[in-house]
Amino acid sequence: MNKEAQTGAPETYQEFKVPDGYALDPEVAAEAGKMFKDLNLPQAAAQQLVDYYVKKTNESFRQPFDAYQDIRKGWVEEAKNHPEIGRNLDQVITTISKAIDGIGDAKLASDFRAAMDFTGAGDNPAFIRVFYKFAQQLTEGGAVKGTGPAATGQQNPAQGPRSPAHALYPNLT
């Protein structure tokens, strides 16, 4: 055993070392110092307990943030794999963005986007699906791409479909 371990608690504890960016509350340090003194802990043992406290405090502090990030990642994956919105997620996002821009108030649209980013609600698949349904009703559709003339050619709708013979010999009556 080292000499400090044999002598027990010091008269006063030196300032406990904590990681950079972490501050030990002076009231907590004073209260812990009294407890350590009552337990007759040497400086090294007291420092071990402070290190443990700091580690566990940081873990407890990070847990809700990590859980929230995991939830948001799960929402993003769920949205990407959703049968209704996942296969055309870029189009869905564009439609929602058009609806937000269509409000006509750039500041409000910017604030709304900031709120969605801050809260993470914009990652939620249910939110995306509902907002997409609203956006579809509020925005104009896009251009429809044609694939050329119909296979049966142009004709009067009142006429029935042309026969294959008529397609080969259009001038026959």
- Verdict on whether the full-model pTM lies above 0.75: no
Whether residue 71 has pLDDT greater than 90:
yes
| Residue-level pLDDT at 151 | 61
Which range of 4-18, 59-73, 140-154, 155-169 scores highest in mean pLDDT? It is 59-73
Contact 119, 129 (CB under 8 A): no
The C-alpha atoms of residue 123 and residue 116 are separated, in whole angstroms, by 8
What average pLDDT does range 42-54 have in this prediction?
A: 93
Listed by start position, the domains of the chain span 3-66, 82-138
Q: Are 88 and 94 in contact (CB under 8 A)?
A: no
| pLDDT reading at 152 higher than 70 | no
Q: What angle do CA 60, 61, 62 make, to 5 degrees?
A: 95
